[in-house]
Amino acid sequence: MLRPLASIFRPEDYPDLLVGLDSADDAAIWRLNEHQALVVTTDFFTPVVDNPYDYGAIAAANSLSDVYAMGGKPFLALNIAALPPNLPVEISSAIIRGAAEKAKEAGVVVAGGHTIQDKEPKFGLVVLGLVDPQAMLTKGGLKPGDQLFLSKPLGFGVATTAHKRELLTPEELEEVTGWMKRLNRDASELAIKFGLHGGTDVTGFSFLGHASEMAEASGCGITFYWHALPFIHSAHKYAQAGTFPGGAFDNRSYFEHYVSFDPAISEIERMLLFDPQTSGGLLLAVPPEKAAAFPEAAQLAKIALWQVGEVTAEKGIKVAV
């Protein structure tokens, strides 16, 4: 589908396009000068929760995350909204307010946008940010020996699908909503402070899908440790109930040839690692000489962080126990 773009906009013709169609990164980056580059991204999706305010806030956090995943600082956004004409105005307003207040929390101005009519609500943001070209986070920034850290737990897809089936308890909904609304700002700023260069955010292609993209872009391998991986409390419960979204099966079909699992890891547990995430955490690669100080700094700053694996010279993804 994207081949016409690749043939029309050849990377060699645009030397200031530092990150574009030739990579699978989270946002496009255009160099403005030696010390500054523009980060540009867009994302939108259908509701993952019933509360319209929370839906708007989650959509905003998710869109802003792509800038944070590149090590950038977002500053300006535009709404993208497709809303049913019969949707009560108070619901539409709550969606937009939720996004606006989350953007304000991030220090971002929402300066307008565009709305069309559609049968099913869809909402998100175009986001602009700035980054130092010498301090970018990219999927190709991994090196053997790097230690991998994750800034949010997993299981959002299986939980929100359970919510759509009216299975989620109020406490379970509060937990997953809270994580999805949380900005990746603090983890991104810490990554830049420590001079990291390898990172991504975990979203629709799943934990293992995005990790596979990082490994391929870096020409390295990755080993994850199952018992080190964090999950929200309801993830295993609803995985056993089979409430995986359809995207989980698509992800497994596309990415599983990159991955080898320890035989002790069950089929249900494997599926959790292909579960699409909405507004998931950052997956960051930390050089071994900084691997002790990085989580210590995160703990002092009260930033959620889990050490989940390491980068290897041998290509491919391994999930060990």
pLDDT tens digits, residue range 86-140? 999 999 999 999 999 999 999 999 999 999 999 999 999 999 999 999 999 999 9
Q: What is the domain extent for residue 261? A: 137-320
Q: What percentage of the chain exceeds 70 in pLDDT?
A: 100
Range 146-165 burial, b when 16+ CB lie within 10 A, else e: bbbbbbbbbbbbbbbbbbee
Q: Indicate the pTM of the whole model.
A: 0.96
CA dist., res. 3 & res. 155, Å (int): 33
One-letter amino acid of 37: A
Residues 118 and 147 in one domain: no
Of 78, 111, 134, the position where a domain reaches its end is 134
CA dist., res. 18 & res. 283, Å (int): 21
CA dist., res. 274 & res. 255, Å (int): 8
Residues 75 and 218 in one domain: no
Model pLDDT for residues 145-189, shown as the tens digit of each residue = 999 999 999 999 999 999 999 999 999 999 999 999 999 999 999
Of 78, 112, 134, the position where a domain reaches its end is 134
In a 3-state reduction of DSSP, which class is residue 295? helix
Mean pLDDT of the chain: 96
Q: For position 10, what pLDDT does the model report?
A: 84
Count Cβ atoms below 10 Å from residue 264 Cβ, excluding itself.
9
Q: For position 20, what pLDDT does the model report?
A: 87
Residues 213 and 69 in one domain: no
What lies within 8 Å, CB to CB, of 296 at 6+ separation is none
Residue 311 confidence (pLDDT) above 80: yes
Is the separation of the CB atoms in 162 and 141 below 8 Å? no
Rounded to an integer, the average pLDDT of 230-252 is 98
Residues 150 and 56 in one domain: no
Residues 168 and 301 in one domain: yes
Q: Which helix (H) or strand (E) holds 321?
A: none
Is the separation of the CB atoms in 316 and 221 below 8 Å? yes
Residues 141 and 129 in one domain: no
Is the separation of the CB atoms in 76 and 157 below 8 Å? no
Residues 142 and 127 in one domain: no
Residues 127 and 172 in one domain: no
Of 119, 134, 149, the position where a domain reaches its end is 134
CA dist., res. 66 & res. 136, Å (int): 12
User: For residue 282, what is the domain's CATH number?
Assistant: 3.90.650.10
Residues 55 and 148 in one domain: no
What lies within 8 Å, CB to CB, of 78 at 6+ separation is 110, 111, 112, 113, 114, 125, 126
Rounded to an integer, the average pLDDT of 291-309 is 98
User: For residue 124, what is the domain's CATH number?
Assistant: 3.30.1330.10
CA dist., res. 127 & res. 32, Å (int): 17
Residue 3 confidence (pLDDT) above 90: no
Residues 56 and 151 in one domain: no
Q: For position 73, what pLDDT does the model report?
A: 98
Residues 150 and 274 in one domain: yes
Q: How many domains does the chain have?
A: 2
Lowest mean pLDDT among 13-27, 70-84, 280-294: 13-27
Residues 164 and 229 in one domain: yes
